[in-house]
Structure 1
């Protein structure tokens, strides 16, 4: 079982904070879950639209602050979940030893990606959050949480 999970997207203000919060809601307290960005908007809060979608799902992103992904973070986690296929290579460029533990959040849905809703219409945030929620539920099932 994975005890330390890291969720990664680009800016760490839309998708990965939502996935972090959703997985934290679903996982046992013993599982540590964090998030970071490949090109993080360091110390920025979660996007207001991402916060709104999360609120609808009973999640609170108000305390979130974006963090830059580092090699040390990758090494400290057992599983790294990313939103898009191209993020796998980006993570591995930052941390070559992470290669075997980086997977798509949508792995159990035919490797489906979660498109970046940043600076797009509200409907893109809704779709992204729906996918994040569904994919997180699939991970819960696979992990037997």
Structure 2
């Protein structure tokens, strides 16, 4: 049913590429990608994953090299069966970009007490560790549901 999954955050350089890679590993039969709500506005379109995200994910055995941030578009929203966002407020942002996607947009942290996953961008190493721990827990929970 959900064969194409899109993971969404703000800039598409920290949380969503991390969630994308973890889900790809846990759900190899599914097509998983990521995008950002404000990637273009932030000047991040086409940029690689954040250096700290790359380092921390590497320590967990995941490779973010080759990632290029992309802007969430109505076309992308139509292409995917399930859109997973990092914060409750992102549901509204996705709906503003593609109103028809509302029914297939859910929280990435849905199965871990509907938790928001905080943005670690330009924050401490501890902030990244906390965020990536939640991303990993949420991805594991989604993998068992899907």
The two structures have a TM-score, normalised by structure 2, of 0.95
| Cross-structure match for 1:42 | 45
CA RMSD of aligned residues (A): 0.7
2:83 to 60, 76, 80: 80
1:67 to 63, 67, 70: 70
Deviations, residues 73-124 of structure 1 (Å, cap 9, x unaligned): 0000000000000000000000000000000011012210100000101111
| Cross-structure match for 1:12 | 12
Distance, in Å, in 2 between the alignment partners of 1:100 and 1:110 is 20
2:127 to 124, 129, 142: 124
Unaligned stretches of 5+ residues in structure 2:
none
Q: Answer whether contact 2:14 2:53 (CA < 8 A) is retained.
A: yes
| Cross-structure match for 1:55 | 58
Unaligned stretches of 5+ residues in structure 1:
none
Deviation at 1:9, TM superposition (A): 0.2
Aligned length: 142
The two structures have a TM-score, normalised by structure 1, of 0.96
Q: Answer whether contact 2:112 2:137 (CA < 8 A) is retained.
A: no
Distance, in Å, in 1 between the alignment partners of 2:125 and 2:55 is 10
